[in-house]
Amino acid sequence: MKILILHGPNLNMLGRREKEHYGSGDQEDLLRLLSDRFPDFRFDLFQSNHEGELVDRIHQAVDQEWDGVIVNFGGLTHTSVALRDALSLMPQDRIEVHLSNIHAREPFRHTSLTGGVCRGMISGFGFFGYVMAVEAMSQKR
């Protein structure tokens, strides 16, 4: 399987910010975890702090051969109609993951605009949420 991971603003700072919410691992640690757990899978992670770059990457992925897409748009999850609209174009399986439990945080984080165009949402399990998303995608095949 080939899985694209899309990360939004500030996720490039994993391991350095709010460790009580996001843990101490960085994006390289996440990719290493997934590659070790799923050695026959291919993972590609794209991160941007800019909404338009994420929209552009989604548009590129629409016609690429990905089996699934895992999204964690950070703060844009709660504000971006543009990302929601772009995601809705994708024929690939889509699962939204959040490291922290968005429903146990500030009220503005309780709503996900992008989750509604994903098959499901996993929230609050740290990096293990990505493992669960990959497992879910592999079961769908």
Q: Which residues are catalytic?
A: 22, 98
The helix/strand/coil state of 22 is helix
CA 36 – CA 130 distance, rounded (Å): 13
DSSP of 35-79, one letter per residue?
HHH-TT-EEEEEE-S-HHHHHHHHHHHHTS--SEEEEE-GGGGGT
> Judging by DSSP bridges, how do beta strands 2-7 and 93-98 pair with one another?
unpaired
Both structure tokens of 62 = 């629409």
